[in-house]
Every structure is written in C-alpha cells, then in structure tokens.
Chains A and B, each alone.
Chain A
Amino acid sequence: MLWVDKYRPRTLDDLIIHQDLGESLKKLVSTGDCPHLLFYGPPGAGKKTLIIGLLREIYGSAVEKIKVETKPWKIELPSRKLEIELTTVQSNYHVELNPSDVGNQDRYVVQEVIKDMCKNRPLELKGHRGYKVLLLNEVDRLSREAQHSLRRTMEKYSATCRLIFSCSNVSKVIDPLRSRCLCVRVPGPTGMEIQQVLQHVAQREEVQLPDALCQRIVQMSDRNLRRALLTLETCRVTQYPFTDAQPVQLPDWEMYIQEIAAFILQEQSPKRLYELSRKLDDELRHTTIELAAFYEHRLQEGQKAIYHLEAFVAKFMSEYKSWSIAVLG
C-alpha cells in the first residue's frame, strides 16, 4: 500500500491539517441532520479524506465495509432503452460513484442511481440516520444537463438521501446546485502544513527526512499533499538514506511540458537568445499569463483541447518572436 493511503486519516479526529474544518463538520453531524454538501478545492487538498471522515462520523465504522459493484443500469427512456455500465462503491449507508465516467449519458445514470438508492431506505436502528448518502466525485465534469436534472432530484428525494459532491473547479458547478448545498472550501495545504505531514509520515515510517529535502519536496509539490507524499515515497525508493542534494523527481508529464517549453524557445530563438531567457521572464510574463488565462478559459469551454493548446503555443511563439526582434533590433 502506498504511503498516501496508509497514513490517510480515517476519522475527523485524526486530521493533521484542516483540523478546524474537521471540527465544524463534527458539529454539523452532532446537530442530527446533515445538509447536502459540496466539497471543493484543488487536487490533493484533502476533500476525499474529509468526506470519508464525515461518513465515518455519521455512520460509524460500518461505513468502511464497502463493496465494489459494476452493474449495467437499464434505463428506459421514452424513446429508447439505454444500458449503461457503471461502477459504484457501496456500503450499507452510502453509494459512491463517478458519474463523469459514463460520458454523455450521465444525467440518466445519476437519476437512476438516486432512485434506486432511495427505494430501500435504511432503517433507523441504533441511532443511525434515516438517510443514505450519495457521494458524487468530479461533479465539475458532469454535463450541464445532468447537473440540471440533479437539481430536481435533490429536492425530491431529500428526505431519504443526502448528496455529497466533490469537485475541484466549483465554477463549473451550476449555481442552483451550489445554492442547494453547504459549500465547503478545502484549501490546498500550506507549505508548513505539508512539511508537518511529511515529517509525521517520515517519523511513522522511521526514515530520516532532512529538512532541506523536505523543503524541496514541498516546493515542487505545488501545495498538493498527495503529490508531496508520493514524491517522498519515490525518493525513499530511489535513494535511501536521504541526502540533501538528492534530486526530486517531477511527474513525467510536467517534465514533458518543460521539454515542450524548451522546444518552443529553441525553435523560435537560436542559441544567442539563450542568455536572454531570464529577461523573457520579466518582460513577456504579462502577455504570457494573459494568453494562458484566456486559453485556459477556452479549454474549459471548448471541446477539443488541442485547438486551444495549439493556439496558446502559437500565440506565445508569435509574441516571443516579435519581442525578440524588438530587443535585438
């Protein structure tokens, strides 16, 4: 088992970071009812950990008895029949699914699953709540239609069913959904917090983690706790005992992007421009960031990512070229 999983806090009490969030969630549960919840935050911030902790807080350890079920959902539409295969993770108390996996058909699936779930409502035994929880991952990737259809379903079944959403880009969740949920912002952990967690894990694993290395891991982790822990483990596997100067492995796709960037620069500017690359950072930064933001937005709106990425690169190349001509005369 990877360290990320191994040292993942199981309950809200075990949290190292976001302890304040954990406290307020506990309070929420202790009042007896739980509204629909929407957890949002950057990847690796601890959304899922909080959700699992919350479920455990509500239902106790029984919620950890899960089974994975891949079953075809037969959905009868007015005009045709659909059969969609979807994997869900279920316990007696909750169902978890990734509706975006099924692509365009997501709206039918979500409704169907909710209906199915609400048919057999758990009994109120031993103080267990009379509702089930449906956990939807990556709601931001749900199609608009699905989100709209969710809105109605949420109200209809709110007596028996609570929804917990998790997403990283809250602006892609439609307003009506957001307004029906208690939105919980899970911020990315700060460098200090990551450092704290890393040291904690290192201690538990009984490895010596030098401060300098820890710092560097924190730096490259981009406030992503998952990545930080994985990197730590990678470092452990690659070379132990740690040294200060140990290289920290970047994810391969990031290296690839750097490669691309280097390629762009090289293609545009012969070697003599190389020493100017620092200056580039200052003078071209504004335009580049503006372009990046613009095409990032387009990426969200468009269908085929390649067009927008290419447009970005091409624009940058063009800007870079005109800039370099201006500088060099």
Chain B
Amino acid sequence: MSRKRTQVVSILSSDEEAEDMAKGEAQRKAPTPKGQDKPTRGQQRGNSRGASTPSSQEERNGGLQLQLSQPKEKDSKPQRQLSFRPVQRTLDSYAVPSDPHKVLHPNPTEPSSAPRGYGSQQDASPRKVASMAGRQAGWSHSHKPQTTADLVMHKKKIQEISGWLELQKEPGLRCSAPRMLVLSGPPGSSKSTTVHVLAKEMGFEVCEWQPPVPTLWDEHRYHLADGGLQYTSKLDEFETFVAHAKLSSLSLQPSTAGTHIDTSQGTSQQSQQPPPKAGPKLLVIDDLPHAAGSEQRARLAAALSLLAAAARSPVIVIATSSSTQGAPNDRGAAWHGLHKELQDALDAVGVAQISCNPITDNNAAKALQRVAAEEAMPLSKEQALSIARSAAGDLRSAIEAVQLLCTGVAPLPPQPKTRKRKAKGIKQAEPELRMPELASARDVPLDPFHAIGKFLYNKRGEEGSEAATGRDEEEMKQPWSGGQSFLLHACREAAPAAPVQLSERHKRLPLTFSPEVVWEQSGLDVGTTAGFLHENALHFMDNEAIEDAALVASYFSDVDRITRHGFATASGSSGYAGDLGAAATFSDGVAGSVLVRGVLYANAHPAPRRWLPLRRSGWGTAQRGAAANMQQLQSLVWAGGGAALHCVGGSVRAIAAGVLPSVRCMSANGSASAAALLPECWTQLWQGELSEQRCRPAGALSVSPRGDLQQDYNEDVVEDIM
C-alpha cells in the first residue's frame, strides 16, 4: 500500500474507526480486485500534478494536508476518502472545492482531533491553514457566526427555531407529531447557519445528508473502466439515506457507518460528528435532490414523508425559495421553496414550517461591519448599509461583495495588500474604502404586483414640491447601477431643456417615482402590464371622471397599436438592438413608457383610497372561449364536405356572424333541420368565467349530409358511365 493510503487511513481519528474502515476496505476490495490500482493511479495523478522540484515538497505537503484535513474540519465522512480516492483526486485536480455550504461544523477550535502524523505540521501553522481555507471559501464562510448572539436572523425566528429544537429534545413527543421542520427562506438569509449554531449550542449532534459529488461523464467512464462505480442518481441516494435514517440499527451510529455504507456501494455520504459528543442527533437536509418530473417529485415526496413519519431523530429540511423560479403561474409554489406537490405531501403529514424573511438591511449592515472589523477593514456604516441594500436581503452575497470590495479582485482601485496595510497603519488618514460603482450592486427586482399597484394608486407628491427628480435620480442610480438600460437613458435624455408651459388641465402633481424604472424592475412585458392595468385601472378612477377613462382607454389603444406594429412597420425590423432591459425592442420600450405614463397621467381624479383587489386580465380567458367556439364552428363548417353550410364559403366568421343567429332562432321555433346545424356546445364568458353549454337539442341529429353527397356521387358516376 502506498504511502498516501496510510495517510488517508491515519486521518481517522479513532482506532476503532480505522479498523472499521479497514474492514470496509477489505470488504470492498474483495468483490472488485481491480479497485486496487485506484490508489496508485491517484498517486500518479497526484505526483504529476504536484510540482516535481523537491523544494516544493513542503508546499505540496501543505496543500495535501489542506485537502485532507479540510474534510476533517468539516466532519465530512471519512469513508469518502477511502472509497473515493480517485474521485477526490480528480476533483481536487479540477480545483473544485467541496461545497462550502455543506459544511457542518466549521470548528476551527477543534484541532485536537487533527490527524496523527500531521499533527505537528498543522500545529505549526494552524493559522495559515485556517486563513487559507478562509480565502478559499470566501468570507461568508470563514466569518460564520459561532454563537447565537452573532446570528443575524430576526430574534423571533431564532426563538421559533430553538423552541422547536427544544421540543424535539424531549423524547415524549416522539410519536405524536412528525419530527420534521421545513425551514424556508430566500438564499442568503442564514438558514443553515442558524440551524447549525443553534444545534451546537443546544447540544445536538448534527448529521447532514450530503449529496454525492456529481460525476462528470468522462470521470464516470473512467470509473467504469475501473469497474468501480456505478452511476446512481441523487434521488436514489436520498432514498437510501432515508431508509437508513429510520432504522436505528443502521448507519447513523458512527461506528457502524463505514461498513454499512460500503454495502450500499458507499456512494451515499453522511457526515457525522465523531463520537465525543453524544448528544441527541439532528438530521439536516440542506440540499434536496432536484426533482424535475412529476414522477421524481412523487418519489421525493414519498421519501420525505417517510422520513417525517419514521425518522428517529428530528429532521430539518432547508428549502431555498426564490423569486425567479418557475413560470408566473406556479410562482406561489416556488415562493415557499418546496414544490407544491412536495409541500402538499408534507402538509398532509403535518410537518412544522418556519419561513425566514430576507435579512433586513440594518441587520445585514451590522453583520457586514462585524466581518469588516474582523478583517480589519475600514467599512463605514453608510457603505455597509448601501451594500446591504443592494444585496436585497442576501447576506452571503453582501459579504462577498464586501470581500470583493476589500481584496480588489475586481478590476477596481483598492489593492489588497496596500489597502490592508494602510488600513492597519494609518486608519485615520484614509478611513473610507472607495466604493466601486458597479461591483456590488445587483438588480433588485420588484414584485410585479407591487409595480402594478404603484401605477394604479398613482401616488404623487405634494403641491409645490419640486418634481421628484432628485429622488428619481437616486432611485435610478441605486438599484440599476449594473447597467443603464436604453429606456431609462432615453427618458433622462428626453427631459426638456426649458420647462414647458402647460395649461392648467394638463398639470399634474409630481410623481414620487419614475414610472419607467418601476416598470423595468417589475420585469413584466408590455402585454401583461397592459392587461393588468386595463382590467384594473377603471376602478381606481373617480366615478364621474369619464374624461379620464376615455383618456386612459385611448392610451391603451395607442399602446396596442405600438406593440403590434412598432414604428418600423414597413421594413419589419425593429431597429434598435442594444441593452434594453425589459424593453426587448425599441417599440416595446416606448409602448411600456406610454402605457405606464399614460395610466398615471390620465388618472387625474383618483377614486378615494381604499383597498381594491387586483384582477387578472380577462383577455386570455375570453380568448380561450373564443378559440373553443371557433373549433366547434370549424368542425361544423366542413361537416359533410361543407355541403351543409355551403353558403358561408368555409369562413368561420361568416358562420358566427351571419348564419348562427338565424339558425338559433329557427331551432328555437322548432325547426329540426336548423337545430342540426347548431354547434354541439358553446362556450360562454360570464363574469370572467368560461362555461360550456350544450346547445344542440338532444333529439337533433348531427349534420349528416353524407347521404346526400353519396347520392350526388352516384348520379355523377351514372352520368359518367353513360
């Protein structure tokens, strides 16, 4: 066995485990003797990768140690090293760090469990290793809070979660409610961190399901040639994991884990806290397998509810919700992190749920300042606040923005080293970091309903206050510094040099926001926006203000005209193709601007403020009904070779407008032949709902002039023959 093999084994902290692992290794090796050359290959690669000069040996060892000890720190599963040496190796060589978010206990205070044989080295430079790890993982990782006091999440939420954990500590509750909690929230709202910190403080031992590293096809082939691995999907892994989690005799005992996992091809990875702490266990599932189809979802839901029902230890499922996921239709589903079907399955079992809010700007700013202080960086409160604001509640990205700001990895002025030294040395002299314009900002999307509401409620400033240009400017700059869209640019350019004298009836109070900015932030397209506004705008107008209604209606008409044809009708091309944001084409941008400004301008006499529900545009529904009717008529037009309704010449519209009314009237007066010409069912729109009704009387036969046709044929044939 090569030297490396011994290194790996020696990492295992306890002899017992090492023995187990050795046993497992033996077991594993027995069926696949080919597997033996894996380590050598790994070594070869390692050698080829490492610098060949002996002087770099030291460094190489350091690097190696880092790789090997890092999983230790993370309490990643030891057998992973054993059975997956090649994978590990390749991954390292691809410089893919094992996912920092999956880290369980970033426990830098536990160097005591460092591997024997390397202990001395590591002791020699523990800081270096830690800081390197920090560099690698980013500040958001290395500055993870260690105590409850440092947590950024809202106190009440923390209480909620810790309350739940407290409940789970008492064994009496075991059988009543499922011991599962779904913790959902937007990314970067410190869900996982909170759970881990709380669990640590409350003496839970965290077991985490860590999904296997996805295998690249090339690697997979390589392993296949080795006869080693089989491809297993993440979902399969998860099911295996669930199966293990519910049986007390299996796997979750750290001492038996190795052997056990080996029998299941060892691909599922659970990471365990090594024995010393024997608190109650807490299962954390951070990364649910992605389930694309409904079949997979059903499997996942079954596995989850099984876990909820039968798990021996409390389970926390962490679900990241996102605002951009999915089509507008299943927005609601995606909003809560889990897919609706999963949610339903879990609800059916009665799983507890806590949803976190995005982190507030102030809290995030505080956290940022703490991080900056730990790194000895001068970060002013305003800066922290503005970074926090532009991160929109995502602490992880906010911290990374700070890191970017400080290290100068970005092509922007502050150089890392000089900056740092300066910061340490002459702090007073230059207390401010230069804020780059573009680096930290990210586009803050606005909820579409929020945007629509803004247009409809038409909030305006006070009489006499100067137009909201100042605020406008700021708002324009603030969230959209990531790139000026053409539309906004054009809007700003379009400001007249001298104030135009308006007649009294055209005058409006200044707007408190910039319509184009809001519209672009909402991410809605012209059609949808127009649909919503059209459906709702009239309710926001005063009852007497028919002139306003006429005006707004004419704006809708204009917008529809513009979107349909644009300005370049003849050539058919849309002219401008730059960075347009939501305004994908020039005419769309103009239409959007006309639309929102038109609605805002026309509503000169708003209705008294009250709560009004926003209605969906009924256009789509009406269209669907019309399409259904159209189809009915189409089948009718051609029924029996078009002979029955020859008069309409195959035009569906002619039937609908010309023939149908008379036919209806006739059949109402009892003409059976006319009744046969009615469509079978007719879809009607009433109060925004489609309803289908049969209109051909039951007695009437369907159109069947086939017979007539046949006769004609025969006659013709006879004629021909004669």
Contacts and interface: CB of A to CB of B under 8 A. Distances in A.
Indicate, yes or no, whether A interacts with B: yes
A238 B664 CA distance: 12
Contact of B647 (A4, A89, A315, A321): A4
B669 A89 contact: no
A96 B553 contact: no
Interface residues of B, number: 58
Contact of A298 (B561, B645, B671): B561
Interface in B519-565: 530, 534, 546-547, 549-550, 552-554, 556-557, 559-561, 563-565
Interface string A295-315: 100100111101110110111
A251 B659 CA distance: 9
A139 B560 CA distance: 23
Contacts of A303: 560, 563-564
B649 interface: yes
B644 to A, nearest CB: 7
A231 B664 CA distance: 11
Contacts of B664: 252
A321 B550 CA distance: 11
A112 interface: no
B713 interface: yes
A68 B642 contact: yes
Given A249-B665, A311-B550, A318-B547, A1 B705 contact: yes
B263 interface: no
Interface stretch (B15-23, B40-48, B280-288, B650-658): B650-658
A89 B550 contact: no
Contacts of A231: 662
B488 to A, nearest CB: 26
Contacts of A68: 638, 640-642
Contact of A307 (B557, B645, B662): B557
A306 B530 CA distance: 12
Contacts of A101: 634, 652
Interface stretch (A23-31, A43-51, A177-185, A187-195): A43-51
B674 interface: yes
A227 B658 CA distance: 6
Interface stretch (A57-65, A203-211, A271-279): A57-65
A314 B665 contact: no
B210 to A, nearest CB: 41
A24 B648 CA distance: 24
A285 interface: no
Contacts of A64: 712, 716
B176 to A, nearest CB: 56
A138 B652 CA distance: 10
Interface in B665-679: 665-666, 669-671, 673-674, 677
Interface in B107-143: none
A92 B661 CA distance: 34
Nearest to B647: A4
Interface centre among B643, B649, B670 (most CB of A within 10 A): B649
Contact of A89 (B648, B650, B653, B719): B650
A159 interface: no
Contacts of A65: 712-713, 716
A64 to B, nearest CB: 7
B644 A5 contact: yes
Given A47-B649, A311-B554, A315-B550, A226 B661 contact: no
A195 to B, nearest CB: 19
Interface in B66-99: none
Contact of A237 (B534, B560, B652, B670): B670
Contacts of A229: 647
Contacts of A237: 665-666, 669-671, 674
A234 interface: yes
B619 interface: yes
A113 B315 CA distance: 63
A87 B546 contact: no
A8 B646 CA distance: 9
Contacts of B666: 233-234, 237-238
Contacts of A43: 654, 657-658
B658 A44 contact: yes
Contacts of A265: none
A227 B661 CA distance: 10
Contacts of A227: 658, 662
A146 B547 CA distance: 41
Given A68-B642, A303-B560, A315-B550, A5 B647 contact: yes
Contacts of A89: 638, 641-642, 650
A249 B662 contact: yes
B138 to A, nearest CB: 42
A318 B662 contact: no
Interface string A4-35: 11001000000000000000000000000000
Contact of A62 (B530, B661, B673, B716): B716
Contact of B641 (A8, A62, A67, A295): A67
A6 B22 CA distance: 96
Contact of B546 (A144, A306, A321): A321
A147 interface: no
A1 B672 CA distance: 11
Contacts of B546: 268, 314, 317-318, 321
A101 B671 CA distance: 30
A253 B661 contact: yes
Contacts of A67: 641
Interface string B240-262: 00000000000000000000000
**A-B interface, 6 closest residue pairs, ranked by CB to CB distance from nearest:** A48-B649, A251-B661, A230-B662, A318-B550, A311-B553, A4-B647
Given A87-B638, A311-B554, A321-B546, 6 more contacts: A5-B643, A43-B654, A43-B658, A306-B622, A314-B546, A314-B552
5 contacts: A47-B649, A48-B649, A227-B662, A233-B662, A237-B665
Interface of A: 1-2, 4-5, 8, 43-44, 47-48, 51, 61-62, 64-68, 70, 87, 89, 96-98, 101, 137-138, 144, 166, 224, 226-227, 229-231, 233-234, 237-238, 249-254, 268, 295, 298, 301-304, 306-308, 310-311, 313-315, 317-318, 321-322
